[in-house]
Amino acid sequence: KNQVEQSPQSLIILEGKNCTLQCNYTVSPFSNLRWYKQDTGRGPVSLTIMTFSENTKSNGRYTATLDADTKQSSLHITASQLSDSASYICVVSRTSGTYKYIFGTGTRLKVLA
Amino acid sequence: EAGVAQSPRYKIIEKRQSVAFWCNPISGHATLYWYQQILGQGPKLLIQFQNNGVVDDSQLPKDRFSAERLKGVDSTLKIQPAKLEDSAVYLCASSPRGSADTGELFFGEGSRLTVL
């Protein structure tokens, strides 16, 4: 069954601290993996895209990793800011079959001053 | 470049009433998606269009939900009659790629529906 599981479900950290969000998937055939940021009351916005051959990709203070062998990805946020408070959704895409985009349930991050 | 536009942003109705949501995708985007996002969950695909044709509507509750994409551009999603469990955010997304590709999804702000 094609599934994407994210952990933790929610996370509270202090401003300036680092954190890591996890995404495990059982999706095939694998095309790519994206991390989306969804601010409260807004639509998701893509942060990074990882293809099969990529291990690490950075976007400012966001760094995503992908281990295609273990089917795990992580999103590391460095020096967190209040504006990082949002839900982070892992989306794995398939190259064929129905439901090309498999969504995780998201990690809700709260950054406190 | 203008993003995906959705309206209304918020709607409160009583059960058994009807409601319609509108979506205008990014210009030139061939593929359009409607997702339902219940609080605390990831988006669930309701229907996917490529141009003005339906690619996948297997998860659309067709006894109460309907959707169309006029001339391959704007789209409307209708619920009639609404049930309490339809309370959710309805997200519209578009992609410049065809339905066979897995390009980035560009989401609108969403339409939040509350059914009382």
Tokens 């509270």 correspond to: A12
Q: Please tell me the distance from the alpha carbon of residue A20 to that of residue B109, in angstroms, as a whole number.
A: 26
How far is residue A109's CA from residue A83's CA, in Å, rounded to a whole number? 10
- Does A99 contact B112 at a Cβ distance shorter than 8 Å? no
Name chain B contacts of A57, Cβ cutoff 8 Å: none
Count CB neighbours of A99 within 10 A. Answer: 16
The closest alpha carbon to B91, from B3, B1, B2, belongs to B3
A46 close to A111: Cβ distance less than 8 angstroms: no
Cβ contact B31:B106 at 8 Å: no
pLDDT tens across B81-102, in order? 999 999 999 999 998 876 556 6
CA angle, B95 then A5 then A82, to 5°: 75
Q: CB-based contact (8 Å) between B57 and chain A?
A: no
Q: Smallest Cβ distance to B45: which of A42, A95, A99?
A: A99
Q: How confident is the model at residue A41 (pLDDT cuts 50, 70, 90)?
A: confident
* Contact call for A46 and B104, based on CB within 8 A: yes
**Segment B15-47, tens digit of pLDDT:** 999 999 999 999 989 899 999 999 888 899 999
How far A88 CA lies from chain B's nearest CA (Å)?
10
Question: CA B61 to CA B106: how far, in whole Å?
Answer: 24
- pLDDT of amino acid A96: 76
The yes-or-no verdict on residue A99 having pLDDT over 80 is no
Asked if B25 is an interface residue toward chain A (Cβ–Cβ < 8 A), one would say no
pLDDT at B103 over 80: no
Q: For residue B1, what pLDDT band results from cuts at 50, 70 and 90?
A: low
B contact test, residue of A31, A92, A95, A103 with most B CBs within 10 A: A103
Model pLDDT for residues B42-75, shown as the tens digit of each residue: 899 999 998 889 989 999 999 999 999 988 899 9
DSSP A79: S
pLDDT of residue B101: 64
- Residue scoring higher pLDDT (A28 or A4): A4
* Chain B partners within 8 Å of A45 (Cβ): 107
Label the pairing between strands B88-95 and A56-59: unpaired
Residue B52: per-residue pLDDT = 83
**pLDDT at B82 (0 to 100):** 96
| pLDDT for res B72 | 82
B112 vs A41: CB contact, 8 Å cut-off?
Answer: yes
Q: Given pLDDT bands bounded at 50, 70 and 90, which one contains residue B13?
A: very high
Q: How many other β-carbons are positioned within 10 Å of the β-carbon of residue A68?
A: 15
The dihedral region occupied by A16, where left means phi > 0, alpha psi between -120 and 50, and beta the remainder, is left
Q: How confident is the model at residue A78 (pLDDT cuts 50, 70, 90)?
A: very high
Chain A residues close to B99, C-beta within 8 Å: 100
Give me the torsion for CA of B76, B78, B84, B88, rounded to 10°. -10
Residues of A with Cβ-Cβ distance to B56 under 8 angstroms: 98-99
Tokens 């009807």 identify what position? B18
Residue A24: the pLDDT is 97
| Percent of chain B that is helix, strand, coil (3-state, to 5) | 5, 50, 45
Closest CB to A43: pick one of B44, B91, B102: B91
